[in-house]
Amino acid sequence: MVPAARLPVPLAVRPPPPHGPRPIASLRPLLGSPCIYATLRPAAAPLVLTRRGAKEHATISADAPAKVIDGKLVAKQVREEIAVEVARMKDAIGVVPGLAVILVGSRKDSQTYVRNKKKACEAVGIQSFEANLPEDSSEEEVIKHIASFNSDPSVHGILVQLPLPRHMNDENILNAVGIEKDVDGFHPLNIGRLAMQGRDPFFVPCTPKGCMELLHRHGVEIKGKRAVVIGRSNIVGMPAALLLQKANATVSIVHSQTKNPEEITRQADIVIAAVGVANLVRGNWIKPGAAIIDVGINPVDDPESPRGYRLVGDVCYEEASKVAGAITPVPGGVGPMTIAMLLANTLESAKRIHNFK
Ligand code: NAD
């Protein structure tokens, strides 16, 4: 009989449509797998970090349970550091960093994301600006708002909340954001600079930047290590692979057409999973002692939860945490880092524009 851990992935959620919410997977097919247990159990106690993050190396014996890379805690530290810098800048030169968010339409989830970004800005002293446009706006109207933020000296970062309505071309709109205010880092010139040797982008996309920050602050050595990124999207997988390469890792990318993904992943000292398939990465995909960053956020049915569902990552936490050296939980891993990195990019932009060190 094939051992359970070698069975094909039991819970495959089809890649989501480019717009609209991701489907909720069912836990039922997972019965009998430790992954169902993982999704119903709270994560292990968080690791307490020193101010700049624990400096010990994450490569530890496979016998010990993995250290939890606590994204909530690191994000809090990052936000506190940003608040100090924002206040220092205001005192020294009277400039307050500003972030403008453009929201088109009235999707509830997008409204929540925008509200959260605004709250996060307020908490660290960053000024926020908002343009709320109706669903049936034209591309020209959106671009007009972007242009006005491009030329507004109190705005240092511009973010267009995605997804945009279907009648709009994302590329046309994202390309209109001035590269020096592109705090999401999605402008092709920013991505191009990220890919090139000897060049640096103005901004690094927030989620992959958050992944790198978690690795750095947990003292995970990257130079010369083997890294595998699972997923190659423009917003997470591809820039994460470029960042790991820039940090001198030897990088492989596993995607939907990759043969033997588990064999390739098993060679990695560092794994970043950004797929959107619940519990895809099983314990036997993981090299003992590896550092695992799980970007995936997947809703799965959970009748015991008041909401009827709960969130799990792309990595089967229960299995992986027995093999890995360090691992991010879902939720509470990469998620909180994304907004923290947006604030960091906005501060960085204001400092660069005003040449403030
Ligand atoms: P995406 O759908 O744009 O890209 C998914 C990638 O995974 C694609 O490159 C695809 O080729 C690859 N893929 C699909 N099936 C695969 C398989 N079976 N094996 C290997 N690769 C496969 O998704 P995305 O926007 O990159 O997001 C990925 C996940 O990360 C989602 O769960 C999303 O919710 C989550 N996410 C989290 C944050 C955060 O802040 N934590 C931010 C962005 C995305």
Q: Is residue 357 part of a domain?
A: no
How far apart, in Å, are the Cα atoms of 108 and each of 59, 113, 141?
42, 9, 22
Per-residue tokens: 273:
């999973």
Q: Please, how many CA atoms are within 13 Å of residue 203, restricted to the half-sphere of its CB?
A: 32
The rounded radius of gyration (Å) of the Cα atoms in the chain is 20
Q: Is residue 88 part of a domain?
A: no
Report DSSP state, residue 318: H
For ligand 1, say whether the CB of 275 is within 6 Å of any of its atoms: yes
For ligand 1, say whether the CB of 15 is within 6 Å of any of its atoms: yes
**pLDDT at residue number 21:** 37
| All residues at 6 or more sequence positions from 144 whose CB lies less than 8 Å from its CB, including other chains | none
| All residues at 6 or more sequence positions from 105 whose CB lies less than 8 Å from its CB, including other chains | 133, 134, 135, 164, 165
146 Cα distance to chain centroid: 24
For ligand 1, say whether the CB of 277 is within 6 Å of any of its atoms: yes
Can 117 be counted among the known catalytic residues?
yes
Can 209 be counted among the known catalytic residues?
no
Q: Is residue 57 part of a domain?
A: yes
User: What is the tens place of the pLDDT at every residue in 173-230?
Assistant: 999 999 999 999 999 999 999 999 999 999 999 999 999 999 999 999 999 999 999 9
The catalytic residue among 117, 225, 246, 287 is: 117
Residues 123 and 83: beta-carbon distance below 8 Å: yes
For ligand 1, say whether the CB of 236 is within 6 Å of any of its atoms: yes
Strand partners of residue 327: 68, 292
**pLDDT at residue number 40:** 37
Residues 36 and 28: beta-carbon distance below 8 Å: no
Strand partners of residue 281: 315
> How many domains, in total, are found in the chain?
1
Question: Ligand 1 centroid to 51 CA: how many Å?
Answer: 31
In terms of DSSP bridges, do strands 298-301 and 309-312 run parallel, antiparallel, or are they unpaired? antiparallel
Residues 254 and 314: beta-carbon distance below 8 Å: no
Per-residue tokens: 228:
């595998």
The catalytic residue among 70, 181, 182, 184 is: 184
**pLDDT at residue number 80:** 98
Question: Ligand 1 centroid to 44 CA: how many Å?
Answer: 25
Question: Ligand 1 centroid to 273 CA: how many Å?
Answer: 8
Residue 244 belongs to a domain with what CATH number?
Answer: 3.40.50.720
Q: Is residue 350 part of a domain?
A: no
For ligand 1, say whether the CB of 338 is within 6 Å of any of its atoms: yes
**pLDDT at residue number 337:** 98
Rounded Cα distance between 348 and 261, Å, is 37
How far apart, in Å, are the Cα atoms of 123 and each of 84, 95, 101, 139, 227?
11, 17, 16, 32, 35
Per-residue tokens: 322:
């027995």
Question: Which of 209, 252, 295, 337 for a ligand 1 pocket mutation test, highest count of atoms within 8 Å of Cβ?
Answer: 295
**pLDDT at residue number 25:** 54
Full-model pTM: 0.86
Q: Is residue 212 part of a domain?
A: yes
Question: Ligand 1 centroid to 244 CA: how many Å?
Answer: 17
- Mean confidence (pLDDT) of the chain: 87
**pLDDT at residue number 36:** 54
Question: Ligand 1 centroid to 42 CA: how many Å?
Answer: 23
**Range(s) of the domain holding residue 222:** 24-75+205-337
Residues 232 and 241: beta-carbon distance below 8 Å: yes
How far apart, in Å, are the Cα atoms of 13 and each of 131, 232, 258, 275, 286?
34, 17, 17, 10, 21
Low-confidence ranges of the chain (pLDDT < 50): 1-23, 26-32, 37-61
Rounded Cα distance between 274 and 315, Å, is 10
Rounded Cα distance between 296 and 310, Å, is 13
Query: Which residue's CA is the closest to the ligand 1 atom numbered 31?
Result: 276
Number of CB atoms found within 10 A of residue 323's CB: 21
Q: Is residue 274 part of a domain?
A: yes
Can 302 be counted among the known catalytic residues?
no
Rounded Cα distance between 292 and 333, Å, is 10
DSSP class per residue in 68-111: E--HHHHHHHHHHHHHHHHHHHHHHH----EEEEEEES--HHHH
For ligand 1, say whether the CB of 276 is within 6 Å of any of its atoms: yes
How far apart, in Å, are the Cα atoms of 229 and each of 39, 197, 238, 251, 292?
23, 20, 8, 7, 10
**pLDDT at residue number 60:** 38
Query: Which residue's CA is the closest to the ligand 1 atom numbered 34?
Result: 297
Question: Ligand 1 centroid to 233 CA: how many Å?
Answer: 6
For ligand 1, say whether the CB of 321 is within 6 Å of any of its atoms: no
Per-residue tokens: 13:
């959620």
